[in-house]
Chains A and B, each alone.
Chain A
């Protein structure tokens, strides 16, 4: 049964969507805020884009965001070093990593996070088995990369709501 209560999560969603709405209009006027709140409320109560169940844990989420930002900076630096170094030391390969079953609901988030990891990109993903196929610029770093992917998967599970297998959002 769908809840109609104004939960903290729903309030946060409405506030964020209203801010994004005002940012799109580039003006924080009363009319924009009111229309933003109205639109955001309609969207959240209709259940579009949010399940309304489970909870988002802010600390693991901030940790995940911080890790992704650090990865982004590190990957840019690593690629820049590869570009300016005259010798090509890349040894490319595609390896598979299996994500734990409870984290498979956040596969898209993982794809985004992994692609921002140094020397790594997702070539393909199998949502049924939770297998990600990663392209590595340095295939000898396979062990470290797999460990990092599992760390990201664990963090995404801690930060975002998960559902038992077979339950749809």
Chain B
């Protein structure tokens, strides 16, 4: 069981490392949020799964609550970051932007978008 736990924690660490590399490697804010927002809950989930087999009922219960809270709240946080970036920076790299006309119609200011 220890070996399985160690492998799971190693995999979790590797996913977190990949998310970190993604933050540096991707060129746009949106793509960076994808790296941070998708990989980190999985990294936490896998690491927690490995750790819970070593921590017993008390530790597992805490990790289960923390994991549930993270999976439920992180997507909302990522969504707010996406929205903030869209409203404040020009999205010239976007091939399609169907939100911009709706924001302009609602009078929401955007960065220096033409």
Contact = CB atoms under 8 A, between A and B. Distances in A.
Contacts of A139: 95-96
A88 B26 CA distance: 8
B93 A92 contact: yes
14 contacts: A20-B65, A26-B57, A72-B45, A76-B38, A82-B26, A82-B35, A83-B35, A92-B28, A111-B75, A111-B76, A112-B71, A112-B76, A123-B79, A123-B82
A135 interface: yes
B95 A112 contact: no
Given A76-B15, A133-B98, A133-B99, A123 B83 contact: yes
B72 A112 contact: yes
Q: How many of chain A's residues touch chain B, expressed as a range?
A: 35 or more
B51 to A, nearest CB: 14
Contacts, number: 130
Interface in A58-103: 72-73, 75-76, 79-80, 82-84, 88, 90-96
B48 to A, nearest CB: 13
Nearest to A97: B98
Interface of B: 15, 18-19, 21-22, 25-28, 30-31, 33-35, 37-39, 41-42, 45, 57-59, 61-62, 64-65, 71-72, 75-76, 78-79, 82-83, 86, 91, 93-100, 102-103
Q: Is the interface of A mostly helix, strand, loop or mixed?
A: mixed
A119 interface: yes
Contact of B96 (A20, A75, A83, A94): A94
A90 B34 CA distance: 12
A38 interface: no
Contact of B25 (A83, A93, A121): A83
Nearest to A80: B18
A122 B58 CA distance: 35
Interface in A98-126: 108, 111-112, 114-116, 118-119, 121-126
B75 A24 contact: no
Contacts of A75: 38
Interface string A29-63: 00000000000000000000000000000000000
A24 B99 CA distance: 41
Contacts of B98: 94-96, 133
A118 B42 CA distance: 13
Interface centre among A22, A116, A125, A139, by most chain B C-beta atoms within 10 angstroms, is A116
A121 B78 contact: yes
A94 B79 contact: no
A80 B79 contact: no
Interface string A133-146: 10101010010000
